[in-house]
Protein backbone atom coordinates (compact mmCIF):
# COMPACT_ATOMS: atom_id res chain seq x y z
CA UNK A 1 0.00 0.00 0.00
CA UNK A 2 1.12 3.54 -0.64
CA UNK A 3 1.21 5.98 2.29
CA UNK A 4 -2.21 7.28 1.21
CA UNK A 5 -3.62 3.77 0.90
CA UNK A 6 -4.26 4.26 -2.84
CA UNK A 7 -2.83 1.92 -5.44
CA UNK A 8 -2.71 3.20 -9.01
CA UNK A 9 -4.96 1.55 -11.58
CA UNK A 10 -3.09 -0.68 -14.05
CA UNK A 11 -3.42 1.87 -16.87
CA UNK A 12 -1.97 4.61 -14.66
CA UNK A 13 0.80 2.32 -13.43
CA UNK A 14 1.98 1.33 -16.90
CA UNK A 15 1.60 4.85 -18.31
CA UNK A 16 3.66 6.17 -15.37
CA UNK A 17 6.37 3.67 -16.34
CA UNK A 18 6.16 4.83 -19.99
CA UNK A 19 6.62 8.43 -18.85
CA UNK A 20 9.62 7.46 -16.73
CA UNK A 21 11.16 5.54 -19.65
CA UNK A 22 10.64 8.62 -21.87
CA UNK A 23 12.98 10.55 -19.60
CA UNK A 24 15.86 8.47 -21.06
CA UNK A 25 15.15 9.84 -24.55
CA UNK A 26 17.93 11.69 -26.33
CA UNK A 27 15.68 13.15 -29.03
CA UNK A 28 15.74 16.93 -29.19
CA UNK A 29 12.18 17.17 -30.54
CA UNK A 30 10.06 14.76 -28.51
CA UNK A 31 10.70 12.38 -25.62
CA UNK A 32 8.71 9.15 -26.06
CA UNK A 33 8.55 6.11 -23.82
CA UNK A 34 7.03 2.70 -24.58
CA UNK A 35 6.24 -0.31 -22.40
CA UNK A 36 5.18 -3.74 -23.68
CA UNK A 37 2.93 -5.49 -21.17
CA UNK A 38 1.24 -8.89 -20.97
CA UNK A 39 -0.88 -10.20 -18.12
CA UNK A 40 0.05 -7.19 -15.97
CA UNK A 41 3.79 -7.86 -16.39
CA UNK A 42 6.33 -5.61 -18.08
CA UNK A 43 7.99 -7.47 -20.97
CA UNK A 44 10.13 -4.72 -22.45
CA UNK A 45 10.62 -0.96 -22.55
CA UNK A 46 11.99 1.45 -25.11
CA UNK A 47 12.64 5.14 -25.62
CA UNK A 48 13.52 7.12 -28.70
CA UNK A 49 17.19 7.68 -29.43
CA UNK A 50 20.09 6.68 -31.66
CA UNK A 51 21.13 3.02 -31.99
CA UNK A 52 23.77 1.63 -29.63
CA UNK A 53 27.31 2.88 -30.41
CA UNK A 54 25.90 5.80 -32.46
CA UNK A 55 26.11 9.36 -31.14
CA UNK A 56 22.79 10.80 -30.02
CA UNK A 57 21.11 13.88 -31.44
CA UNK A 58 21.68 15.55 -28.07
CA UNK A 59 25.41 15.34 -28.96
CA UNK A 60 25.42 16.06 -32.71
CA UNK A 61 22.18 17.95 -33.33
CA UNK A 62 19.01 17.07 -35.19
CA UNK A 63 19.15 16.90 -38.98
CA UNK A 64 15.35 17.06 -39.30
CA UNK A 65 15.27 20.16 -37.10
CA UNK A 66 18.01 21.90 -39.11
CA UNK A 67 16.07 21.13 -42.31
CA UNK A 68 12.77 22.40 -40.80
CA UNK A 69 11.03 19.07 -41.40
CA UNK A 70 7.60 18.85 -39.79
CA UNK A 71 6.81 16.35 -37.07
CA UNK A 72 5.72 12.99 -38.52
CA UNK A 73 7.50 13.57 -41.84
CA UNK A 74 10.67 12.09 -43.38
CA UNK A 75 11.46 9.63 -40.58
CA UNK A 76 14.26 8.15 -42.70
CA UNK A 77 16.36 11.27 -42.07
CA UNK A 78 16.34 10.76 -38.31
CA UNK A 79 19.32 9.02 -36.69
CA UNK A 80 17.09 7.83 -33.87
CA UNK A 81 14.89 4.79 -33.41
CA UNK A 82 11.35 5.22 -32.12
CA UNK A 83 10.48 4.08 -28.60
CA UNK A 84 8.09 1.41 -29.91
CA UNK A 85 10.77 0.02 -32.21
CA UNK A 86 13.27 -0.09 -29.36
CA UNK A 87 10.76 -1.94 -27.14
CA UNK A 88 10.27 -4.57 -29.88
CA UNK A 89 14.03 -4.81 -30.46
CA UNK A 90 14.79 -5.20 -26.75
CA UNK A 91 12.22 -7.98 -26.44
CA UNK A 92 13.72 -9.79 -29.45
CA UNK A 93 17.28 -9.24 -28.21
CA UNK A 94 16.44 -10.92 -24.92
CA UNK A 95 14.19 -13.64 -26.38
CA UNK A 96 10.94 -12.32 -24.92
CA UNK A 97 7.78 -13.21 -26.88
CA UNK A 98 5.44 -10.23 -27.24
CA UNK A 99 2.57 -11.77 -29.24
CA UNK A 100 -0.68 -10.95 -27.44
CA UNK A 101 0.87 -8.04 -25.52
CA UNK A 102 -0.35 -4.49 -25.05
CA UNK A 103 1.72 -1.38 -25.68
CA UNK A 104 1.62 1.61 -23.34
CA UNK A 105 3.19 4.58 -25.06
CA UNK A 106 3.38 8.28 -24.30
CA UNK A 107 2.42 8.99 -27.94
CA UNK A 108 0.25 7.32 -30.54
CA UNK A 109 2.65 5.29 -32.70
CA UNK A 110 3.45 6.52 -36.20
CA UNK A 111 2.38 4.42 -39.20
CA UNK A 112 5.82 2.77 -39.47
CA UNK A 113 5.78 1.64 -35.83
CA UNK A 114 2.12 0.68 -36.15
CA UNK A 115 2.90 -1.73 -38.97
CA UNK A 116 5.65 -3.31 -36.87
CA UNK A 117 3.33 -3.61 -33.86
CA UNK A 118 0.64 -5.24 -36.01
CA UNK A 119 3.10 -7.83 -37.32
CA UNK A 120 4.48 -8.43 -33.81
CA UNK A 121 1.00 -9.62 -32.79
CA UNK A 122 0.04 -6.93 -30.31
CA UNK A 123 -3.61 -6.82 -29.30
CA UNK A 124 -3.91 -3.34 -27.81
CA UNK A 125 -2.27 0.09 -28.03
CA UNK A 126 -2.72 2.49 -25.11
CA UNK A 127 -1.38 5.98 -25.70
CA UNK A 128 -1.34 9.24 -23.78
CA UNK A 129 -1.13 11.87 -26.53
CA UNK A 130 -1.91 11.97 -30.24
CA UNK A 131 0.61 12.07 -33.06
CA UNK A 132 0.58 13.75 -36.47
CA UNK A 133 -0.09 10.51 -38.36
CA UNK A 134 -3.73 9.71 -39.18
CA UNK A 135 -2.82 6.49 -41.01
CA UNK A 136 -1.81 4.82 -37.75
CA UNK A 137 -5.33 4.71 -36.27
CA UNK A 138 -6.78 3.50 -39.58
CA UNK A 139 -4.24 0.65 -39.81
CA UNK A 140 -4.94 -0.43 -36.22
CA UNK A 141 -8.69 -0.42 -36.83
CA UNK A 142 -8.31 -2.50 -39.99
CA UNK A 143 -6.04 -4.97 -38.15
CA UNK A 144 -8.55 -5.27 -35.31
CA UNK A 145 -6.16 -3.95 -32.67
CA UNK A 146 -7.80 -2.10 -29.82
CA UNK A 147 -6.72 1.56 -29.53
CA UNK A 148 -7.28 3.48 -26.30
CA UNK A 149 -6.22 6.88 -25.13
CA UNK A 150 -5.16 6.74 -21.48
CA UNK A 151 -5.05 10.12 -19.81
CA UNK A 152 -3.43 8.79 -16.64
CA UNK A 153 0.24 8.74 -15.90
CA UNK A 154 2.68 11.47 -14.94
Q: Which residues are catalytic?
A: 84
Distances (CA, A) of 154 to 42, 106, 150, 151: 18, 10, 11, 9
Distances (CA, A) of 26 to 7, 50, 94, 107, 147: 31, 8, 23, 16, 27
Task: State yes or no: 113 annotated in a binding site.
Answer: yes
Closest CA to 47 of 7, 106, 98, 3: 106
How does DSSP classify residue 28? S
The C-alpha atoms of residue 17 and residue 131 are separated, in whole angstroms, by 20
The C-alpha atoms of residue 86 and residue 80 are separated, in whole angstroms, by 10
Known binding residues for Zn(2+) are 82, 110, 113
Which residues are part of a known binding site? 82, 110, 113
Amino acid sequence: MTPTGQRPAWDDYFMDIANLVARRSTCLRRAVGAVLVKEHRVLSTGYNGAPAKIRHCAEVGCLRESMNIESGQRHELCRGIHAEQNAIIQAAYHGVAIRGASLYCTNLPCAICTKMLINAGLTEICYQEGYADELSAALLEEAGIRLRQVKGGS
